[in-house]
Every structure is written in structure tokens, then in C-alpha cells.
Amino acid sequence: MTATVALFGDTPSRDARFEVREFWRDVANLPHDHPDVGNEFLLRQLNEELNAMEIAARNLVDFPDADWGLRMALARQCSDEARHAIAFRRLLEKRGGSLGQYPVLNFQFRIMTAIPSLIGRLAVSNRSFEASGMDAIQDGIENSKRKDDADFVALFDQQLADEVQHVRFANVWLKKIIERDPKAVLALARAIAQADAAFKEIVGDNIVFYPVADDLRREAGFTEDEIKTAHSFVDRK
């Protein structure tokens, strides 16, 4: 008998200011022309940056025997993500928003803590979620420029430079881990399949895909074949 795989792990702690929901359908999902759509986005993104920080920190705790260079990269990521969260909060409050104004989701952390291998977490969190985040940020920069929204452009520019590094170090270390232990690719594949099932359970059919940022993905260490694969996946959605 095959054991049932738990799709979700621990839930990160949040104080009383945050209203946490479980599924995408239960958050605000404001229409694009709603006057508060920008603040809802800022709050949601702030919490996602906290999730990214907590995932990197949890990786340091759960895998203390990982290579020192990888642990240093994860520690730097913690610092970067904390800085991003502060920047999003600063702009949110500048625009009249506040913590708790809208519900948030913590699905990223819950998905990661159910993955038992470090290679699996790097593949899903850094190489998948954050790579898609690069595409989204690039699209956000272009949209913000069209709207002459200098605050958003500056915020996205700051965030993007760090996210490229987070994807790049994951690409580097995934290759090193697989070179040392080719069987590790099995744990990577299991993690991706598990995360995909969990993500679909949270989001359902409400998945948003952004244009693939080719140059950014090259800078982050993806091969041309991997970029073509990303295009083929996004273009058929």
C-alpha cells in the first residue's frame, strides 16, 4: 500500500493584525479597477515576502549539515526577503493601507514544510515560485511605467535584483547536489509533483501566468531549453 503524502506542513505564526485564510477563493481578489486593488496587492505581497523569509530560515534550521556556501546563500536570502517585506509595508502605509486590511494566504510556507528534502524545497521555492515571481515583477515594472507610478517601479526594481540572485544560487546548488548524488533528482521530481498538487488545491483554476522574462531567466542560470519549456507551458494556458 502506498502511503498518503501530506500536501501541507506547518503554518507560520501571525499576530492578531493578520486575517489568514486557507484558499484563494476566500481572499479579496479585487477587480483591476477597484480603488484599493493596489493596497490589497501590497499587503498580499508583503505577506508573501514574509513566507519567503520564513522558508529560507526554516531551511537553515531543518538542514544544518548543508554546505556552508548554500547556508550562507539562504541566510542572505532571509535578509533580502525581510528587507522586501519592510519596503512593501512602507509603501502600503504611505498609500493609506494597513496590516490586516485584507486577508492573506500562507500557502507557500505550508507547501514547503511538507517537502522533506532540501533539493526539493530549492526546486519548488527558489527555482519555481521565485522564477515565476521574476516574470511577474518584470510585468509589474512595465505596467507601473505605463501608469507613471514611480513608487511601484522603484520597489519592483529593488526586489527584482535580489530575486534573480535567489533563483541563481538555487540553480547552482541543485546542479552540485545532483552531481554528488544523481539519485537526488528523484526527490526533486517528487517535490515538484507534490507542490503542484498542493498549489492546485489552494488556487484551483485561478492561476495567473505572466510572460516569461527570457533575459532574467538566463541571468538566473536557466538554459535555453528550460526557457523554451517555460514558454511552452505558459503559452498553452
User: pLDDT at position 2, please?
Assistant: 43
User: pLDDT at position 92, please?
Assistant: 96
Cell numbers representing residue 145 in the block: 511605467
Q: Per-block average pLDDT, block size 10, for the chain (237 residues)? A: 72 94 92 90 95 98 97 98 96 94 96 97 94 90 92 93 95 97 96 95 82 92 91 71
Cell numbers representing residue 139 in the block: 510585468
Rounded Cα–Cα distance for residues 41 and 152 (Å):
11
User: pLDDT at position 237, please?
Assistant: 55
Per-domain boundaries in the chain: 20-235
User: pLDDT at position 4, please?
Assistant: 56
User: pLDDT at position 174, please?
Assistant: 96
Cell numbers representing residue 104 in the block: 492573506
User: pLDDT at position 103, please?
Assistant: 96
Rounded Cα–Cα distance for residues 137 and 143 (Å):
10
Residue 47, burial from CB neighbour count under 10 angstroms (0-12, 13-18, 19+):
buried
| Protein fold of 20-235 | Ferritin (1.20.1260)
Strands (E), the chain: 20-21, 104-105
Closest CA to 221 of 156, 154, 176: 176
User: pTM of the predicted model, to two decimals?
Assistant: 0.92
User: pLDDT at position 1, please?
Assistant: 35
Cell numbers representing residue 42 in the block: 501590497
